Structure 1
Amino acid sequence: MLQTVPEAVGIPGRLKDQANQLLADAAQCRPAARLGLMTTLYFKHGHTEQIRRRIEECFTHFYDTFRSALDWQSYQRLRKLSPSSFSICRRQVLESSPDEPLLWSISSARPVEAATHCMSVMAPSQSQAATDHSCLKMLLPWSFLMERDGARVYEGWIKYLCNQTQAEHGYGGLVCVLPGDGLRYLPLEYELARNYIGLMVDAGPHMESLRLLDRIKGVSWYSVLGNRFVHQLGGSDRLRSVLSTHSDVVFHTYENGLMIRAGVLPALGGKSEAPSSAYVAVNKVLKPIRVQDTGCLHPCPGRGIGFTEQSTAQWYARFDEKPMASVRAGQPCPQTGHWFSSAMARSRRFFNKGEVMPAFEHLKAERTQWFWTDFSG
């Protein structure tokens, strides 16, 4: 199902407004951050010849598509990117030993700068492959989505990368892009993430990989679920059924699972804005497989400015629905749905919003409490 034409037409404008406000906030700090469109995928068998060949194909496709924007390459050492240096690194990757980890990136910027375009991979050696995921990242400028057919082209990219890596899980959405040469810029990401809940915190996906062996990070614009996670949630048909009332939630399959898109374009959110209803709906479905041992998103928050373990847990729960407060008899129902009262057995029934909650003959109205029950999903 698709959103109505007026709704769809207004979405790019809202995203532009949100992005411009975020960049204005970021510009108050030095260096200014970039707003980027990040794809992060976790996968297995990154030490094998087959998967490393697929990784090389991903890099070649990215290089051929965005060659004019790419200037730097890192494989064993940082070097200027040129057709010859890229060819040399491709060959070295294909000839690399499974006993050696793979660390490779091509980028528009040096580590001391915030990139606009980047593809990077981290794959552990064969001896560590059983206890750690490999991770592939692709960064594009957020404005890529404003180009003609930009959202459709990006969808093709994320599906291609999922197929190439046989992704276990991952996400695609908006991130704060910072220089990659140290931890001193993390307070900026922290401040922006507090104000824009649609922003994915992606400062250290490699560091997070150990926590994400059997859990996912959570909802983003695109949420990638491998088949084992789809099965844990009851299967593809159940997921589609539960989210069928949300016209802006779209499913796509790839060779190893499902991609769930929440909205026509990603939602940054913003100060005083309500969370995206599509993100909230998808988050609710994904919550059972979301990481529970959240740790700390930032390894070394400086001077208390950055994610702590407490604020990290709050960030992961940012799209969780708040518990509905109980309602006393005689008060209007605040939410259409099913409610029950502990004062009477088998009292669960459906109420419309605004309907007066009833009392029971054997109890005074002020002692009768009704409680929300949400059995959907």
Structure 2
Amino acid sequence: MQDKLQKLLDEYQENYNRFTYGHYLDPNNIEDAIKTGLVGCYYLDQGYLPEKRQAIGQVLALYDKYWGNKLKFGFLDGNPNQLHPYQKFSIDKKQDLINNYAFETLNFYWSNVDNLEFVPEYFIETFSKPEWYEKLHQDITYVQLYLPISELKEFGVEQLIALNQQISEILQPMHGFFGLGIQHSHEYYDYQYLEYELAHQFLGLDISNDEDDEHLRDGFKCINWLTILSDQLITDKLGSLETLKERNNDNEIRFYPYTGGVVVRAGEVPELGDVASNPYPKHYVNVNALLKPARAPEIASLGFGSINGEVRFNNRTSKEWQSRFDDVEATDIAVSHEQQSAEVINMDSKVRISIQTGQLCPHTGVYSAQINGKVEYRELIQGYKVEPFIDSETQQVYNDVTWQLLRREDGGNVFRD
């Protein structure tokens, strides 16, 4: 596993500038507007109950135990306009204050940054509405946390899995996830177009910006390295844990039960899912197929409306993102069992449907191309001529580009017959 972990950390560093954007408000180029790291989120029903609020306080104390020294500023009363030093209140006092919000909106946010415009590396947040609001609007409570990817090595892979078991046992969520995702600031709305681009460049990344979505009452949002399922969700949608284990044919999909549910692990370490090299990691594809019946049939849009013509997620593309691991060929490389050598073979030997500038698009969907050393994406529509590509930064026009089909809107095959 150490080799796989080091390979992931190396891949992360090599691609760091592809998924990290410095913030224009920081002339020193230290603070970021968007970045990638470890993201966990746990979705709760009836989060307004006093025992649920107490459980949320326990999880804050658990995060504080390991990373409290990293947290600097935030708020406890839902007011982002008035930040407080994290150490201003003891963890016992914070838990008392959380319990005092037992029947009101509970919203706290603690991170390692002193400006909510910037993206934190260490962060924990909760948003929970009162009973009357939840029953009327069906919003759900969530607890979300961030960690830098370095914690896979520093805290430990197995320790992070055990921590997710512990958090899940405390919170008793309907479902949840933990793995690589896009980390954003409290003021994330301006950067949804960047999230859209990154989500189509790295398919292993979670997009987490609508966590109280009522659709998540019907199932989990999407798989990740760790997917958390309650016993109730398993019973309702998957039969039983034993049945799930019997259906599993991938020895790197592992199950970590806790009282009230199970954590399902897809492979030794998280995956970036870089479309340029390994868009459909084998274990992600397999765990997606295994757990798909328990997935929410739909989710709310992961983006708001465009304000300046930029592309953001809409309802259709959000659904496509949610189902991006459905009915695809895994692209992991694997050791050939026919040979004793370390020779590797590529599992994705098929040729993707491609189209050149000036040709008529054969299938509506998402296409990618390598242009001037970067991976670019376009949504093309069947029957329309593919127009030249114009670089948004340099305004250079590219008249000879070959686009490869990544996902068809009609769900059809993306490979040539």
- Which TM-score applies when normalising by structure 2? 0.70
Structure 1 residue 111: Cα displacement: 1.4
Structure 1 residue 289: Cα displacement: 2.4
Residue 89 of structure 2 aligns to a residue whose secondary structure is: helix
Q: Which residue is 2:12 aligned to?
A: 19
Q: Which residue is 2:186 aligned to?
A: 180
Separation in 2 of the partners of 1:84 and 1:122?
A: 20
Structure 1 residue 32: Cα displacement: 5.1
* CA gap 1:46/1:27 in 2 versus in 1, 3 angstroms: closer
User: Which amino acid is the alignment partner of residue 175 of structure 2?
Assistant: H
Matched, 1:320 2:326: yes
Q: Which residue is 2:241 aligned to?
A: 236
Structure 1 residue 85: Cα displacement: 6.2
Q: Which residue is 2:36 aligned to?
A: 35
Residue 10 of structure 2 aligns to a residue whose secondary structure is: helix
| 8 Å Cα contact 1:26-1:32 kept in structure 2 | no
Structure 1 residue 105: Cα displacement: 2.0
Q: Where do residues 1-377 of structure 1 align in structure 2 (5 Å cutoff)?
A: 8-27=1-20, 30=23, 31=32, 33-76=34-77, 77=79, 78-84=83-89, 87-98=92-103, 100-109=104-113, 110-130=115-135, 131-147=138-154, 150-206=156-212, 208=213, 210-231=214-235, 232-243=237-248, 245-274=249-278, 275-302=280-307, 303-322=309-328
Structure 1 residue 91: Cα displacement: 2.0
Residue 142 of structure 1 aligns to a residue whose secondary structure is: coil
Number of aligned positions between the proteins: 313
| 8 Å Cα contact 1:219-1:283 kept in structure 2 | yes
Structure 1 segments unaligned to the other structure (5+ residues): 1-7, 324-333, 336-377
Q: Which deviations, in whole Å up to 9, do the C-alpha atoms of 1:36-86 show, x marking residues without a partner?
A: 211101112321222211211111221232122110121223212114365
Structure 1 residue 113: Cα displacement: 1.0
User: Which amino acid is the alignment partner of residue 19 of structure 1?
Assistant: Y
Structure 1 residue 250: Cα displacement: 0.6
| 8 Å Cα contact 1:179-1:185 kept in structure 2 | no
| 8 Å Cα contact 1:44-1:129 kept in structure 2 | no
User: Which amino acid is the alignment partner of residue 150 of structure 2?
Assistant: S
* CA gap 1:97/1:189 in 2 versus in 1, 3 angstroms: same
User: Which amino acid is the alignment partner of residue 190 of structure 2?
Assistant: R
Q: Which deviations, in whole Å up to 9, do the C-alpha atoms of 1:161-183 show, x marking residues without a partner?
A: 10111111011111111222141
Q: Which residue is 2:370 aligned to?
A: none
| 8 Å Cα contact 2:34-2:191 kept in structure 1 | no
Residue 107 of structure 2 aligns to a residue whose secondary structure is: strand
Q: Which deviations, in whole Å up to 9, do the C-alpha atoms of 1:97-138 show, x marking residues without a partner?
A: 41x111112211231111011111111202134423211112
User: Which amino acid is the alignment partner of residue 204 of structure 1?
Assistant: D
User: Which amino acid is the alignment partner of residue 128 of structure 1?
Assistant: Y
| 8 Å Cα contact 1:230-1:258 kept in structure 2 | no
More helix by share: 1
| 8 Å Cα contact 1:103-1:122 kept in structure 2 | yes
Separation in 2 of the partners of 1:182 and 1:272?
A: 27
Structure 1 residue 221: Cα displacement: 0.5
Q: Which deviations, in whole Å up to 9, do the C-alpha atoms of 1:3-43 show, x marking residues without a partner?
A: xxxxx343113212331244211346644532221110111
| 8 Å Cα contact 1:37-1:140 kept in structure 2 | yes
Q: Which residue is 1:355 aligned to?
A: none
Separation in 1 of the partners of 2:20 and 2:207?
A: 18
Percent sequence identity over aligned pairs: 21
User: Which amino acid is the alignment partner of residue 251 of structure 1?
Assistant: F
Residue 295 of structure 1 aligns to a residue whose secondary structure is: coil
* CA gap 1:48/1:141 in 2 versus in 1, 3 angstroms: same
Structure 1 residue 88: Cα displacement: 4.1
Structure 1 residue 196: Cα displacement: 0.5
Pick the structure with greater CA Rg. 1
Separation in 1 of the partners of 2:98 and 2:33?
A: 34
Residue 82 of structure 1 aligns to a residue whose secondary structure is: helix
User: Which amino acid is the alignment partner of residue 314 of structure 1?
Assistant: E
| 8 Å Cα contact 1:29-1:188 kept in structure 2 | no
Separation in 2 of the partners of 1:137 and 1:45?
A: 17
* CA gap 1:117/1:28 in 2 versus in 1, 3 angstroms: closer
Q: Considering only aligned residues, what root-mean-square deviation do their CA atoms show, in Å? A: 2.2
Separation in 2 of the partners of 1:121 and 1:160?
A: 17
Structure 2 segments unaligned to the other structure (5+ residues): 24-31, 330-346, 349-417
Separation in 2 of the partners of 1:28 and 1:125?
A: 36
Separation in 2 of the partners of 1:75 and 1:32?
A: 23
